[in-house]
Amino acid sequence: MSVADYFPMLKPFLPSGLQDPPARFTGPTGKPVHGILAQYSAVDPVWNAGETVRDAGFTAWDLHSPFPIHGVEDAMGFKRTKLPYISAAVGLTGAGLGFLMQWWMSGNYEIVVQGKPPTAWEPYVPIIFESGVLLCAFATLGAMFAMNGLPRLHYPLYSHEPFLASSDDKFFVYIEAKDEKFDLVRTRELLESTGADRVDVIEDE
Chain segment 108-149, per-residue pLDDT in tens: 777 777 677 767 788 889 999 999 999 999 999 999 998 888
Mean of pLDDT values over 41-53:
94
Give 69's contacts (C-beta < 8 A, 6+ positions apart): 43, 47
24 — pLDDT class (breaks 50, 70, 90): low
Q: Could you tell me how far CA 159 lies from the centroid of its own chain? A: 20
pLDDT of the residue at 100: 93
Give me the domain span that covers residue 96. 83-147
Worst-scoring range by mean pLDDT, 28-37, 87-96, 108-117? Answer: 108-117
Is 75 a residue whose pLDDT tops 70?
yes
Q: Regarding predicted confidence, which is higher, 109 or 7? A: 109
Check whether residue 76 and residue 170 sit in a common domain: yes
Number of folded domains that form the chain: 2
Check whether residue 62 and residue 160 sit in a common domain: yes
Can you tell me the distance from the alpha carbon of 30 to that of 168, in angstroms, rounded to the nearest whole number? Answer: 31
Can you tell me the distance from the alpha carbon of 23 to that of 130, in angstroms, rounded to the nearest whole number? Answer: 47
pTM of the model: 0.70
Check whether residue 164 and residue 73 sit in a common domain: yes
Check whether residue 88 and residue 140 sit in a common domain: yes
Domain boundary among 111, 131, 147: 147
Can you tell me the distance from the alpha carbon of 55 to that of 51, in angstroms, rounded to the nearest whole number? Answer: 6
Check whether residue 87 and residue 129 sit in a common domain: yes
